[in-house]
Structures are given as structure tokens and as C-alpha cells.
Amino acid sequence: MRQVLVIHFSQTGQLQRLVQSVCAPLLQRGDVQVDFLAVRPAQPYPFPWPFLTFFSVFPETVLMHPEPLEPLAVDAEKRYDLVILAYQVWFLSPSRPITSFLATPEAARLLQGTPVVTLIGCRNMWLMAQEKVKARLAALGARLVDNVVLTDACGTAASFLATPLWMFTGRQKPYAWVPRAGIDEVEIVAAQRFGEAIGERLARPGAIDAPMLRGLGAVRVDEKLIASEKVGARSFKAWGTLLAALGPQHSKRRRVGLIVYIVFLLGLIVSVVPVTALLKKLLAPLTRARIRREKAYFAEPSGE
């Protein structure tokens, strides 16, 4: 019997529903055993988030500093044919609970030599977070064979408002005039196709060493966001390092620094982002080949 481990952390419950959808076909098979490992921080995060508390986790998340977790309910000595690693994106990085799991001895034992499918549910920017996960998986000796990404349905511009309101109110559509935040439920249900393809491959003998989800629309790379993500990741790292140096999460100096950063971030969104978008449009004829190569790279291993 094939053994599959699903590692996940979901704060709002949306990623949990996505995991359930992908795994539903696997759970119906008699030749596949699926184990679930829910990663839980020792100090749970609030939801909805208080405003400054949300930003207080920014430095440690971006710098990928691990935090204490509840004991992991998994047999780290058991060997799995496949691991599905489901994660959210926080500040262009994997969520801190998942980063913390990847720093544990259990992760080192479970992932060594094991094929991994990453499963991402996020607003829209996931490229830099996936680069960090890829680097960590490679360091652990894991083999990334597929990647699945589902993003918010309301679009890039609207999600700038809709997603933060969801985080701060706990409601995906807190006001009638705000688009519903989150992934379309139809898309979550349709994600069962990935589980079906994985199940068909598990039914065949041999180690999984090649993508299983090509041609299924597992990812979509928005070329307009590539440059923004790269610039944002560099800015986040610089600010994260500075804020972490100011003191612990709830210190007064950290809170003052966070307020300055939030003002800076809002100014950046209002002024720099539109100018950058205009420049990218003007330079598009000169950068088309490079962008095509970058899209192909970020879409791997599953492809668009």
C-alpha cells in the first residue's frame, strides 16, 4: 500500500478545505494510506488579527526564524511514498508555522529522499515564497515533483483591500461594497483533479520522480507580478532585519518601527507600484523574451 503524508497549517480554514478537496480522491482508494499532520504553533495565532499583531510577526516570518510548535503527531521514522506540503503565504514567505516545521528534526527525517508536492493557497503573490520553500526542501534532501497554486478570485487590485479586511474582521465579505476575499469555492472543489492524477500515479509501481500534474493547470504565473515580487522580497528582508533588531515582537521600539514601516508600505503601494506597472508596460517589447523565460521557470515543475 502506498503511503502519503499531508502536512498543513490553515489559519482561516480555507487551506484546510483545499487540502480536503485534493485528498478526497486519495482517501477513496484502497491502495493508498493518507496520514495528516496539522502543524500547530505552541502559541496560537489570533483570528481575526488585531492590526499591529498582524504586522508584528512580519520580521520573523520574512527572516524564516522558527518558533516553538506543539508536539508533532507523526511517526518520523515512517517512510512515505509522497509528501504533500500545504502552506499559506505570509509577507511573500511561507507561513511561519510551516517554516518552523521545516526546521525540525522530524522534517529532516520525513523529507530526506522523499518526493514532495507543494500546495499553496494565497492572495496572488507566491513566487518568492515558493523559492524559499524550494531552497529549504533541497537542503533537507527532498525532491519537489509538483506544485499547485490557487489564488484569490477577486483579482490583484481588489484583493489589496478585500484580503486585509478578511484578516482583520474574520469575514470574507465584511461589507457589501467589498468583493469577496479568498479562493473561489468552485476552484477549491475542482482541485480534486490533482488528487485523482496523484492517485493514478501512485497506482503504478516505482518511485515518483517526475511531475504528475502537467497539463492540469496546476499553476498560473502572473507575469505582471514577477518584478514586483522580487523588489518586494528585497524590501521585506531589509525592513525585517531592521525591525527584528529593534527588539522583541511586543516591545515598544518594535511597535514604533512597525508604525513607520506600515506608513512606508502604504506610500509604496500608492506611489511606486503604479509607476513600476507603467514602466513595465512601456518596456514590455524589450523584456518579452526574459519574462517568457522567467514564467517558464516559476511554473516548474508542474507547468501552466
In the numeric block, which cell numbers belong to residue 173? Answer: 465579505
Cβ contact 21:191 at 8 Å: yes
**Are 254 and 286 members of one domain?**
yes
Q: Is residue 237 part of a domain?
A: yes
CA terminus-to-terminus distance, the chain: 31
pTM as predicted: 0.93
Closest-CA residue to 163 (of 88, 217, 218):
88
Cβ contact 28:34 at 8 Å: no
Q: Is residue 126 part of a domain?
A: yes
What is the H or E stretch that residue 247 is in? none
**Are 95 and 196 members of one domain?**
yes
Q: Is residue 57 part of a domain?
A: yes
DSSP codes joined into one string, 108-142 = HHHHTT-EEEEEEEESS--HHHHHHHHHHHHHTT-
Its domain, for residue 268, covers 223-297
Q: Is residue 293 part of a domain?
A: yes
**Are 242 and 184 members of one domain?**
no
Domain containing 151 — which CATH number?
A: 3.40.50.360
From first to last of the 304 residues of the chain, give the pLDDT tens digit: 999 999 999 999 999 999 999 999 999 999 999 999 999 999 999 999 998 889 999 999 999 999 999 999 888 889 999 999 999 999 999 999 999 999 999 999 999 999 999 999 998 899 999 999 999 999 999 999 999 999 998 877 788 788 889 999 999 988 888 889 899 999 999 999 999 999 999 999 999 999 999 999 999 998 888 888 888 899 899 999 999 999 888 888 888 998 998 888 887 777 666 666 677 777 667 677 888 889 999 999 999 8
**Are 229 and 193 members of one domain?**
no
Per-residue model confidence (pLDDT) at position 240 = 93
Closest-CA residue to 21 (of 30, 8, 11):
8
CB within 8 Å of 283: residues ≥ 6 apart: none
Cβ contact 74:101 at 8 Å: no
Type of residue at 293: R
**Are 176 and 60 members of one domain?**
yes
**Are 132 and 16 members of one domain?**
yes
**Are 48 and 131 members of one domain?**
yes
CA angle 202, 207, 212 (to 5 degrees): 55
**Are 158 and 281 members of one domain?**
no
Q: Is residue 217 part of a domain?
A: no
SS3 261: helix
Q: Is residue 211 part of a domain?
A: no
**Are 144 and 78 members of one domain?**
yes
Cβ contact 93:62 at 8 Å: yes
**Are 96 and 238 members of one domain?**
no
**Are 242 and 198 members of one domain?**
no
How crowded is the C-beta side of 268, counted as CA atoms within 13 Å? 12
Q: Is residue 213 part of a domain?
A: no
Number of domains composing the chain? 2
Per-residue model confidence (pLDDT) at position 18 = 97
**Are 178 and 265 members of one domain?**
no
- Examine residue 66 and say whether the peptide bond preceding it is cis (omega within 30 degrees of 0): no
Per-residue model confidence (pLDDT) at position 79 = 93
Q: Is residue 302 part of a domain?
A: no
Per-residue model confidence (pLDDT) at position 71 = 94
Per-residue model confidence (pLDDT) at position 273 = 64
Q: Find how far residue 234's CA is from the centre of its chain.
A: 18
Cβ contact 178:161 at 8 Å: yes
φ, ψ of residue 302 in degrees (nearest 5): -80, -30
Closest-CA residue to 104 (of 144, 70, 145):
70
d(C-alpha 221, C-alpha 182), whole Å: 18
Read off the DSSP letter of residue 268.
I
